[in-house]
Every structure is written in structure tokens, then in C-alpha cells.
């Protein structure tokens, strides 16, 4: 058992040029150590002021009570604009509200059951694929990235990642990620709009290619909808849902914007959370054994279980939640205040950046018991229950909470159980991953694990009255 890796913090004071160098390389290690204890911190530059808010009352104010007074920061939008254009992730005001009125119904409670078969099929494909990777170290991030992309294509367009169009899009996204910083000099400096933006050529080229591929899929789906032959998947639901206030549906360009963020956010965040979950279990074999035993009990047999099986994967869900606490897929949410504010006896000028750092909030030394430790059992403690309510925001919170939060939690829980049901994972102590972040929290040097087939455990028929499936005696 090892302590989960945590990036080293920078010295408290560095010149602005050095801070920008550090920030461009990695958001996490560019921040000072004091943020793990501070309720609020102010950062001054010649161009803007930024306030990192860790006080749960301020987090609640910005994200839940008055979200419209704190819209998404335009500085982040500039870094993502080549690909996302006007997607729901970066828009504000009436445009954002219109988009959410169309998107949200596709992810409402009962709709999750309809995506379960596609998640299951992607999981089966992954476990079969991993059989060829046994016996030698594997960069598990590459595998979870492949798996998460497969889920996106199956649930959105009813095609597996092996489909030619899906594979081309996936490969283009990998090239885009390598070239696209979350922030650029153009986003930080008050340059005129006509001034050239250096270092963005490759980003624009990969974004253009991805959008062209998505547009082809979207136009094909529009034709299938018109002919009445379209499958009843997420793309069809979203493309045929009118805005209840205006009656307008998404046009092709709008749909391309939304599919781009579904893929970028849904694929990247899920891949990150799954990879860190597997690493944490590999370094905590006692918890790995519990998840495996639960998975083999609940997901017994060769066929797809009933959707209700998700409710019985309690330990697996707790592990996945704990992985997202230690390694929140999106580490920071950046807003701007539109009104003069007073935060903790400080005047906050209009236009200041307000940063809600899930990374620091989830590890805050004055909120959590053993904040840097891996302990899925914490969710059953008083401290864990309180912090889950006040200081746990892996999907943001309030009006702008990720519309696919329930989808992501179900996906992560199911896929983690399916993988652990079939394989044993072991970490290489000489290759400790280094957490790093631009848009999502990944490892700067990969997450290298060894895997081998897991022997099946003895099963007996479920007699617990907790629903259909198999059951086994639990170590707890």
C-alpha cells in the first residue's frame, strides 16, 4: 500500500513569466502549497486579478446560489474555441440556457437505463482486448482512453470505436490533445483581436479535422432521422428535442459544437477517472480484492445483467468516487464576476477571475480527514458525508453541473467492476505516475500497470432479496 502521488507545489513567490511557464506545463504544480489550507488566495498580474476560493460558503455562492452572476471566464473559452466554438461548456447567458434546455432531457434519470447496454458492450470489448496485454507493463491511460471513446461512440451514434469514422475521430482527438493548451498568451494578454496568435496553427488544423468528421456523422444522422431509420440513441434524442421555450432544435453547426464537448469532456474525464481508479486499486490490494469480489458476485454469468445491478456495486462506486476526489478529472472551474463583490472582507472588482479549484477543495487540510489518503470507506463517516455535501464537486455544482454527471458515475462504476472482475492489477513501484493537468488530470509519465487474469470466485445464488444476480460472502 502506498500514498497516492501528489505533484510538488511551486515556491510561494515566482515572477509572472515563470508562473506562466509553470502554468502552461501543468496547472497543478504551478500552484503554491498554501492553497491546501487557505480559504481564499489572491493572485495579481498586470492584466487581471484572480481569486482562488476554497471556502465552502464561497463555492456555494458562486456555483449554486448566484451562478448567473459568475459566468464562464472568456480566457478559458479562447483556449478551447478552435474545437468547441459555442458548445455548452463555454457559453453563457441565453445561449447556454437554450442549449441546456435541449441537452438536459437526454440525460434525465430514466434515460440512463437506455444507455446501459452500450456501456456494457464497450466494457465487454475492453475486457476481451485486455487479454492480449497480460504479462507485461501497460500504460493503462491509453486503454481507458480507448474504452471511454468507445462508450461515447456507442451511446451517441450507436457505432463501436472499430467503426472507421469513429477510429478516425478518436485518432484526431489524440493529436488535438497533444497540441491544444487550455490557456495561451492570447488568453492572458490584452492583445487586439487582429494580432496574430502564435503556436495555434496545429491546434486549429486538428480541430478543423475533428469538426469535419463529427459533421459527417451528424449529417448522416440527420438524414436517417428524416427517413425514420435513426437508432434511438443520444444523438437522435438531442437532435430531435426542441427547445421548450422557442421550439428550435439544434442545427448542424450547433450539434457539431455539442458533440465536440460530449467527446472531449465525456471521453477525457471518464478516461482520467478510470485510469486513476485502477492505479489506486493496484496500490491498495485490499480494496482491489473487495471490488473484485463484489464485481464477481453482482456481475456473475456471461450475459448482461439488469440495470439494477449498478445499485449493488456499492464498494466499486465508493472507490470510483474516492478516485475522483483525489484526482478530479477537471481540476479547476474558472468564472468571472459581473458585479462588485466582497469575499472574506476583500473587495473583488468586476471582471476578476474567480477560480473554484476542485483539486484543492478535495484535498483541503481543514475540511477532510486524511485529505491525501485513499480511503473509500470515508463516505460512510460523518466527515465524509459532510464533505461530500460541502466540498466535493467532481462535476461542478448548481445550474452548471455537468449534465452527464449521472451517466459518468454509472459508466465509471460499471466499467471498473467489469475490468476488476476479470483482471488483477499490480503497480510498478519504480514507475510512480506524476499527476499533471491542462484540461483534465492525467499522468505526465503514464500510469503503468501489470495485469493478469483473475481466477473466478465461488458463487452462490442470491438470497439477499436485493435484486437479481449472484452473491458471495463479503469481507466486510
Q: What is the pLDDT of residues 210-269, one digit of tens each?
A: 889 899 999 999 999 999 999 999 999 999 999 999 999 999 899 999 998 888 777 889
Q: Give the number of domains in the chain.
A: 1
Q: Name the nearest CA neighbour of 327 among 408, 441, 431, 445.
A: 441
Rounded Cα distance between 351 and 50, Å, is 9
Rounded Cα distance between 243 and 109, Å, is 19
Rounded Cα distance between 367 and 365, Å, is 6
In a domain, 379, yes or no: no
Q: Tell me, what's the pLDDT at 177?
A: 67
In a domain, 230, yes or no: yes
In a domain, 56, yes or no: no
In a domain, 203, yes or no: yes
Q: Tell me, what's the pLDDT at 24?
A: 75
In a domain, 24, yes or no: no
pLDDT in tens, the chain (476 residues): 689 999 999 877 888 777 777 877 888 998 999 999 999 999 887 777 899 999 999 999 999 999 999 999 877 777 777 788 899 988 999 999 999 999 999 988 668 899 999 999 999 999 999 999 999 999 999 999 999 999 999 999 999 988 887 888 878 777 776 665 544 444 444 444 444 444 467 778 888 888 898 999 999 999 999 999 999 999 999 999 999 999 999 998 999 999 988 887 778 899 999 999 999 999 999 999 999 999 999 998 779 999 999 999 999 999 999 999 999 999 999 999 999 999 999 999 999 999 999 999 999 999 999 999 999 999 999 999 999 999 999 999 999 999 999 999 999 999 999 999 999 999 988 899 999 987 789 999 999 999 999 988 744 333 333 433 454 333 33
Residue 31, all three cell numbers = 500552484
In a domain, 16, yes or no: no
CATH code of residue 446: 1.10.630.10
Q: Tell me, what's the pLDDT at 470?
A: 53
In a domain, 357, yes or no: no
Find the DSSP H helices in 327-368.
358-362
Domain ranges, residue 215: 74-329+404-471
DSSP secondary structure string for all residues of 27-58: TTTTSBGGGGT-SEEEEE-SS-EEEEE--HHH
CA quadruple 313, 316, 322, 328: dihedral, nearest 10: -90
Task: Please say whether the dihedral angle defined by the alpha carbons of residues 43, 44, 50 and 55, taken in this order, is positive or negative.
Answer: positive
- C-beta of residue 445 within 8 angstroms of C-beta of residue 431: yes
Three-state DSSP class for residue 399:
helix
In a domain, 69, yes or no: no
Amino acid at each position: 500500500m502506498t500514498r497516492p502521488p501528489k505533484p510538488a507545489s511551486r515556491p510561494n513567490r515566482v515572477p509572472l513569466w515563470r508562473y506562466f511557464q509553470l502554468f502552461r506545463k501543468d496547472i497543478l504544480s504551478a500552484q503554491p502549497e498554501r492553497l491546501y489550507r487557505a480559504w481564499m488566495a489572491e493572485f495579481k498580474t498586470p492584466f487581471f486579478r484572480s481569486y482562488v476560493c476554497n471556502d465552502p460558503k464561497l463555492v456555494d455562492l458562486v456555483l449554486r446560489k448566484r451562478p448567473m452572476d459568475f459566468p464562464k471566464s472568456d480566457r478559458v473559452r479562447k483556449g478551447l474555441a478552435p474545437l468547441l466554438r459555442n458548445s455548452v461548456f463555454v457559453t453563457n447567458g441565453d445561449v447556454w440556457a437554450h442549449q441546456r434546455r435541449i441537452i438536459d432531457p437526454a440525460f434525465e434519470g430514466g434515460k440512463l437505463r437506455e444507455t446501459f447496454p452500450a456501456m456494457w458492450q464497450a466494457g465487454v470489448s475492453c475486457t476481451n482486448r485486455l487479454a492480449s496485454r497480460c504479462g507485461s507493463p501497460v500504460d493503462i491511460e491509453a486503454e481507458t482512453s480507448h474504452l471511454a471513446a468507445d462508450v461515447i461512440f456507442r451511446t451517441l451514434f450507436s457505432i463501436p470505436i472499430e467503426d472507421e469514422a469513429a477510429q478516425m475521430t478518436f485518432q484526431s482527438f489524440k493529436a488535438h490533445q497533444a497540441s491544444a493548451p487550455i490557456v495561451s498568451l492570447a488568453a492572458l494578454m490584452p492583445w487586439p483581436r487582429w494580432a496574430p496568435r502564435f503556436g495555434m496553427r496545429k491546434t486549429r488544423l486538428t480541430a478543423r479535422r475533428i469538426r469535419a468528421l463529427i459533421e459527417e456523422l451528424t449529417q448522416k444522422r440527420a438524414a436517417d432521422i428524416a427517413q425514420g431509420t435513426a437508432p434511438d440513441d443520444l444523438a437522435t434524442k438531442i437532435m430531435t428535442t426542441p427547445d421548450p421555450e422557442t421550439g428550435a432544435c439544434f442545427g448542424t453547426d450547433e450539434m457539431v459544437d455539442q458533440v465536440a464537448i460530449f467527446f472531449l469532456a465525456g471521453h477525457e474525464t471518464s478516461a482520467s477517472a478510470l485510469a486513476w481508479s485502477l492505479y489506486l486499486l493496484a496500490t491498495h490490494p485490499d480494496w482491489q480484492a473487495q471490488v473484485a469480489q463484489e464485481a464477481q458476485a453482482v456481475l456473475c454469468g456471461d450475459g448482461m445483467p439488469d440495470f439494477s445491478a449498478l445499485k449493488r456495486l456499492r464498494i466499486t462506486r465508493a472507490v470510483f468516487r474516492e478516485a475522483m476526489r483525489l484526482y478530479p478529472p477537471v481540476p479547476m472551474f474558472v468564472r468571472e464576476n459581473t458585479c462588485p463583490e466582497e469575499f472574506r472582507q476583500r473587495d473583488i472588482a468586476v471582471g476578476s477571475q474567480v477560480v473554484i479549484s476542485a483539486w484543492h477543495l478535495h484535498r483541503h487540510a481543514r475540511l477532510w480527514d486524511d485529505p491525501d489518503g485513499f480511503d473509500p470507506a470515508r463516505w460512510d463517516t460523518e466527515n465524509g458525508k459532510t464533505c461530500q455535501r460541502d466540498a466535493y464537486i467532481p462535476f461542478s455544482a448548481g445550474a452548471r453541473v455537468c449534465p452527464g454527471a449521472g451517466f459518468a458515475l454509472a459508466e465509471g462504476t460499471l466499467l471498473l467492476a467489469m475490468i476488476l472482475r476479470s483482471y488483477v492489477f499490480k503497480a510498478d513501484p519504480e514507475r510512480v505516475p506524476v499527476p499533471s493537468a491542462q484540461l483534465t488530470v492525467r499522468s505526465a509519465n503514464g500510469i503503468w500497470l501489470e495485469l493478469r487474469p483473475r481466477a473466478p470466485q465461488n458463487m452462490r445464488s442470491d438470497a439477499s432479496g436485493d435484486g437479481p444476480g449472484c452473491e458471495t460472502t463479503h469481507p466486510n
